[in-house]
């Protein structure tokens, strides 16, 4: 038997058998030459999930094998994309089910640098394995609490312009919830919009809107891996399962990437220790009133309006005798994709001679020429 450990861990809802675990047990039965067992597993699946296209495909394959006609499907597969999509879906589900993904092996994405306590869960969408992971922020690290097969845009990644049918790559936050009653049926029981385009996307001129995490139309149990308009789509059962992990007040990060760097949990903290230190240094340099040192944290090339920003700071700091800054609820996430970048958010309490304020800050730090510098700040 293969280790289908991660499946058993996923507490699937409903009275019926677990969808994915039933499929994978049937695949497993084929591996053990138990065709009859495999078929009865699929029949059981279809009793509970009569809209499972994948179930029917497997049933067809099993009967075709018994008929000695493995090529029979050619008569019915005019829609190559649908067929390949179903095969890919099974492959992805299987890979994850047998522990063939880094997440299933217990590794963590390097992107999970630091989470404030109110960020109770972090969603990580790994397009390379069509999987959406839910990590719990335990305060002492991260724990994989659930994971789902997911569908992304039918043109894959990375979204650049409106209507390109691609899914964006980046660090996003869930902004709200849209109940299914007010939406077209294809979104299923509801949708969680995310904040694409974020500030970095807008800086790059990326357009489009309405990237959601949502369910599936009623005729389908779920969609194949590449089938949405750019959203992350789950089966409706899985949407109900993920719902309790998502908050709509900006405290659920969603990191979507073409691929991720995975590390052992024990090494995650050390590998990322530099990042909070950067922010602390930035804080200290601001408090020191040494404007040059403070400005050295900003990228003259990429930080928009750097010259006037620098001039203002110099003028402003000359008038101060002290600045006191407190940083709370610091969260830092590594940006997926080609550049080395961090998305930093925190609540800042600012005291100076003549000004007190509490603000929510967000910074994008980028590594350029071996140095980390702020390229965006709000």
Partner 1 sequence: MACLRAGRRRRITLLVALLGIVPVTHAQNADHAELHALVEKGQLDAASERLTRLLAQSPDDPDLLFTRAVIAERSGEGERAVAIYASLIRNHPGRLAPYNNLAIHHARKGDYQAAVAVLEKAMEADPAVATAYANLSAIYAQLASAAYRKALNSSTPLAPLELTALDRLEPAHGVRTRGTPTAVASVENTINRPPRNDTADQEIVLAAADDAIGRTGADPAQVTATTATTEATPEPAQGAVVLAAAPGVIENADEKQALVNQVRDWIEAWAEQDVERYVSHYSTNFVPGDDLSLEEWKQQPYGRPPSRQLVESKPADFGVEMDGDTARVSFPWRLQSGGSLVLRKEDGGWRIVRERI
Residues lying near partner 1 in the complex (CB under 8 A) are found at: 43, 46-47, 50, 53-57, 59-64, 66-69, 72-73, 75-79, 82-83, 86
Q: Are 207 and 162 in contact (CB under 8 A)?
A: yes
Which residue lies nearer to partner 1 by CB, 77 or 95?
Answer: 77
Which residue lies nearer to partner 1 by CB, 74 or 105?
Answer: 74
Closest distance to partner 1 from the beta carbon of 219 (Å): 9
Closest distance to partner 1 from the beta carbon of 14 (Å): 17
Which residue lies nearer to partner 1 by CB, 37 or 265?
Answer: 37
Q: DSSP letter at 331? A: E
Residue 39, H or E segment? helix 35-48
Three-class SS state of 301: coil
Closest distance to partner 1 from the beta carbon of 52 (Å): 9
Q: Are 181 and 224 in contact (CB under 8 A)?
A: no
Which residue lies nearer to partner 1 by CB, 81 or 358?
Answer: 81
Q: Are 187 and 226 in contact (CB under 8 A)?
A: no
Closest distance to partner 1 from the beta carbon of 255 (Å): 33
Which residue lies nearer to partner 1 by CB, 79 or 353?
Answer: 79
Q: At 152, phi and psi to the nearest 5?
A: -115, -170
Owner of token pair 């090494």: 267
Closest distance to partner 1 from the beta carbon of 218 (Å): 11
Which residue lies nearer to partner 1 by CB, 87 or 155?
Answer: 87
Closest distance to partner 1 from the beta carbon of 349 (Å): 58
Q: Are 231 and 215 in contact (CB under 8 A)?
A: no
Q: Token digits for 313?
A: 């700071």
Rounded-to-integer distance, Cα 110 and Cα 262, Å: 6
Q: Are 365 and 372 in contact (CB under 8 A)?
A: yes
């Amino acid at each position: 038997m293969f280790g289908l450990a991660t499946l058993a861990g996923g507490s699937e809802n409903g009275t019926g058998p677990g969808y994915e675990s039933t499929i994978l047990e049937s695949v497993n039965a084929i591996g053990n030459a138990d065709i009859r067992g495999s078929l009865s597993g699929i029949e059981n699946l279809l009793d509970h999930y009569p809209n499972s296209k994948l179930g029917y495909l497997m049933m067809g394959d099993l009967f075709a094998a018994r008929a000695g006609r493995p090529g029979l499907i050619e008569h019915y597969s005019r829609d190559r994309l649908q067929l390949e999509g179903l095969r890919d879906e099974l492959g992805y589900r299987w890979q994850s089910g047998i522990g063939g993904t880094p997440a299933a092996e217990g590794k963590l994405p390097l992107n999970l640098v630091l989470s404030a306590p109110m960020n109770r869960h972090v969603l990580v969408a790994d397009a390379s394995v069509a999987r959406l992971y839910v990590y719990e922020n335990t305060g002492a690290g991260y724990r994989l609490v659930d994971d789902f097969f997911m569908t992304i845009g039918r043109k894959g990644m990375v979204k650049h312009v409106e209507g390109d049918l691609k899914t964006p790559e980046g660090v996003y936050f869930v902004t709200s919830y849209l109940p299914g009653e007010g939406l077209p049926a294809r979104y299923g029981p509801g949708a969680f919009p995310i904040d694409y385009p974020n500030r970095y996307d807008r800086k790059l001129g990326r357009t489009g809107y309405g990237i959601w995490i949502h369910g599936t139309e009623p005729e389908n149990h779920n969609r194949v891996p590449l089938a949405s308009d750019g959203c992350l789509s789950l089966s409706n059962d899985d949407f109900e399962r993920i719902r309790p992990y998502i908050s709509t007040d900006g405290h659920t990060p969603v990191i979507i990437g073409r691929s991720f760097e995975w590390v052992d949990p024990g090494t995650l903290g050390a590998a990322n220790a530099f990042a909070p230190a950067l922010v602390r240094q930035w804080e200290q340099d601001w408090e020191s009133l040494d404007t040059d040192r403070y400005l050295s944290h900003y990228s003259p090339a990429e930080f928009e309006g750097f010259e006037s920003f620098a001039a203002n700071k110099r003028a402003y700091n000359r008038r101060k005798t002290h600045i006191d800054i407190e940083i709370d609820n610091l969260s830092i996430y590594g940006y997926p994709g080609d550049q080395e970048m961090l998305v930093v958010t925190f609540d800042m309490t600012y005291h100076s001679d003549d000004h007190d304020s509490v603000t929510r800050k967000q910074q994008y730090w980028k590594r350029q020429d071996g140095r980390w510098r702020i390229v965006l700040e709000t």
